[in-house]
Amino acid sequence: MISSRPHLAPPGNGSEVEGQDFARVDWWGAELEGVTFTRCRFDDAGLEELVTRRCVFDHCVLTGVRMGGARHLGTAFLSCRFDRAKLFDAVWEGCKLTGSHFPGAQLRPMTSTGCDWSYTSLRAADLSGLDLSGQRFREADFTDADLRECDLTGADLDRARLQGTKLRGADLRGASMDGVNWRAFEVTGVRLDLVQTVQLARAHGALVAD
């Protein structure tokens, strides 16, 4: 059972915390290192300018969290909920966000490098203009998301869901796109490489000679 202790101070480095309620805590500018949170809640928490290093948030709920300007270094957010979270100006460096959901979250501007966003739900998210090159988005859900002018060069988009995704001006060159439904989104103004052009043509019934 989750206990309600909204005024707790940040746990010490290396701590393991399970089932705690950190709703509405104010940890502005706090630094966490090696802390593991399992099935904890951070509803409407103030985590602006938070710095995490090699922390783990496992099946945590961060509904309405304010995390503007936070820096996450090698931290994992596994199957977390970021409903209506304010994540602008956040830095994600070498992070793992697999299986997390971001409905209504404010995600831009942000800096993301070397991260794994596989299996995330980014439905209707505004990611326009971001540099997401070389990162993993395997089986991510971008349905109705805005990826216009995004740099996705070299990204792993295998089996990503792109139904209704806005991609005009995006650069997909070198991105792996196996299992993507090319008929589900508009490619006008999208930069593609030769391999992707062949995949697109075949998806639309063209007979492409080897």
Block means of pLDDT (10 residues each) for the chain, 210 residues, are 58 93 95 98 97 98 97 98 97 98 96 98 97 98 97 97 96 95 88 87 63
Residues 99 and 132 in one domain: no
Assigned domain for 144 exists: yes
pLDDT at site 2:
42
pLDDT at site 7:
61
- Domain end, chosen from 73, 103, 133, is at 103
Residues 122 and 99 in one domain: no
pLDDT at site 197:
86
Q: Which residues of 22-35 are buried (b: 16+ CB within 10 A; e: fewer)?
A: bbebebeebebbbb
pLDDT at site 185:
87
Residues 16 and 55 in one domain: yes
**What does the DSSP assignment read for 15-61?**
-EEESEE-TT-B-TT-EEES-EEES-B-TT-B-TT-EEES-EEES-B
pLDDT at site 3:
42
Assigned domain for 34 exists: yes
pLDDT at site 68:
95
pLDDT at site 209:
56
CATH number at 7 reads: 2.160.20.80
pLDDT at site 198:
84
